């Protein structure tokens, strides 16, 4: 097969795949629409009692637990990835994460 034939074959396969995807999407959307008819007001009310909406409030900002040895104004709460300043200060030394704890 030359490149033109391969390109034509790929285009044909892509159009066939797009048709199949749209058919599947239409099928599942119709199934979902049929299922929504089964939900009654009682079931909705029971669900609201069991699973209330969201949290009661927002989470407080995390207090810093670690601070830099070189610059005391640089702090980290301990959440998420280790900050670059801490990695740089630990590199080539025997310092560990616990050495940066705020006492």
| pLDDT for 81 | 94
- What's the number of domains the chain is made of? 2
| 55 assigned to some structural domain | no
- Of the candidates 34, 99, 45, the one whose C-alpha atom is nearest the C-alpha of residue 70 is 99
Q: Are residues 39 and 76 in the same domain?
A: no
| 31 assigned to some structural domain | yes
Q: Are residues 46 and 70 in the same domain?
A: no
What percent of the chain has a predicted confidence (pLDDT) above 90?
64
Query: Considering the entire predicted model, what is its pTM?
Result: 0.44
Averaged pLDDT of the chain: 86
Q: Domain range spanning residue 84?
A: 66-100
């Amino acid at each position: 097969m030359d490149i033109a034939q391969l390109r034509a074959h790929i285009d044909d396969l892509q159009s066939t795949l797009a048709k199949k995807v749209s058919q599947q999407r239409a099928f599942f959307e119709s199934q979902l629409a049929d299922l929504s008819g089964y939900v009654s007001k009682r079931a909705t009310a029971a669900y609201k009692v069991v699973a209330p909406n969201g949290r009661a409030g927002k989470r407080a900002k995390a207090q810093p637990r670690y601070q830099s040895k070189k610059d005391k104004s640089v702090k980290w709460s301990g959440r998420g990835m280790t900050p670059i300043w801490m990695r740089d200060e630990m590199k080539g030394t025997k310092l560990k994460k616990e050495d940066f704890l705020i006492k």
